[in-house]
Structure 1
Amino acid sequence: MKNLKLSLVCAVLLSGLSSYAIDGNGDLNLHVLKTNGKLITFAINKVQKANLAIYAKDGSLIYTENAYGENGILRTFSLEEFPEGTYFLEVEDNTKKVIHEITINDFSTVLSSKAVSSVNKAVPAKSTSVAAR
């Protein structure tokens, strides 16, 4: 009976850990820090180098930059010149690419903190040698 209770407690703890990871608390986790009219500030934790790009809804590239930060990336974008509509912020590093939605209207800009798309990149396997006799 004691082993059953211990197993149940372990199962609940492990399921909690996996749901915590699913919520986007891993790499390329974007945090919207501040919005003020058409000015947005966001941070990407645990990433020192990433490519940032903004695309229009039709897929055309509007802006791109290579962003760097010692303990993460902090950026503020002024979207004053952007017409109303839906845009997409793509954040990509060596292992993952995530896309967040940006909605702009007359008075405000909203950057979704939850990714609308997330793709893990394949990591090449390390080369190993096998000795044959």
Structure 2
Amino acid sequence: MKKIIKLSLVCAVLFSGMSTYAIDGNEEFNLHVLKNGKVITFGLNQVQKANLAIYDQDGTLFYSESASGKDGILRTFSLQDFPDGTYFLEVEDNAKKVRYQINVDNDVTTLSPKAISSVYKVADKNTSVAVR
């Protein structure tokens, strides 16, 4: 019985530590994929206002919105009606625009947790810096 209690305690500490690591982040822009499937859920830490847009590979806009949240942004998108293919989620705030890849394949949709590109905005409106 003592072994079971000790093992349960170790597992509880391990899982709480993993979830804390996955949610916390002190980078300027953090996207956390919370759920994949035909419905994707993600959270943006430390972002109070952002423009969200979903494009296909040809640059056709499928969805856009201005999102806001006091402590961050949490969104869920259903991609059931999307044809199989590659799409891009763009998140833009006052400082930069970040692009993430979405793959729709049969009944599985995945959102990349890491950005595939970032464009930082600078004070001069005619200049931008791209990071890949």
Same fold (TM over 0.5): yes
* Structure 1 runs of 4+ with >3 Å offset: none
Residue in structure 2 matched with residue 31 of structure 1 by the alignment: 32
Task: Name the larger-Rg structure.
Answer: 1
The CA deviation string for residues 50-101 of structure 1, in whole angstroms up to 9 with x for no partner, is 0000001001111000001110000000001100000000000000110000
State the alpha-carbon separation in 2 of the partners of residues 54 and 117 from structure 1: 15
Distance 2:28 2:50 in 1: 11
TM-score by length of 2: 0.72
| Structure 2: stretches of 5+ with no match in the other structure | 1-24, 125-132
Residues in 1 aligned to 2:26 and 2:58: alpha-carbon distance in whole angstroms: 29
Q: Which residue of 2 aligns with 1:113?
A: 113
CA distance in 2, matches of 1:50, 1:112: 18
For these two proteins, the number of residue pairs brought into alignment is 100
- Give the secondary structure class of the aligned counterpart of 1:70: coil
In the alignment, is the contact (CA less than 8 A) between 1:89 and 1:101 conserved in 2? yes
- Give structure 1 stretches of 5+ with no counterpart: 1-23, 125-133
CA RMSD in angstroms comes to 1.4
Counterpart of 1:104 in structure 2: which amino acid? Answer: V
The answer to whether the Cα contact below 8 Å between 1:28 and 1:91 also exists between their aligned partners in 2 is no
**Partner residue in 2 for 1:84:** 84
Percent identity between the two aligned chains: 63
Judging by fraction of residues, say which structure has more strand: 2
Distance in 1 between residues matched to 2:50 and 2:32, nearest whole Å? 15
* CA positional deviation for 1:28: 2.4
1:128 corresponds in structure 2 to none
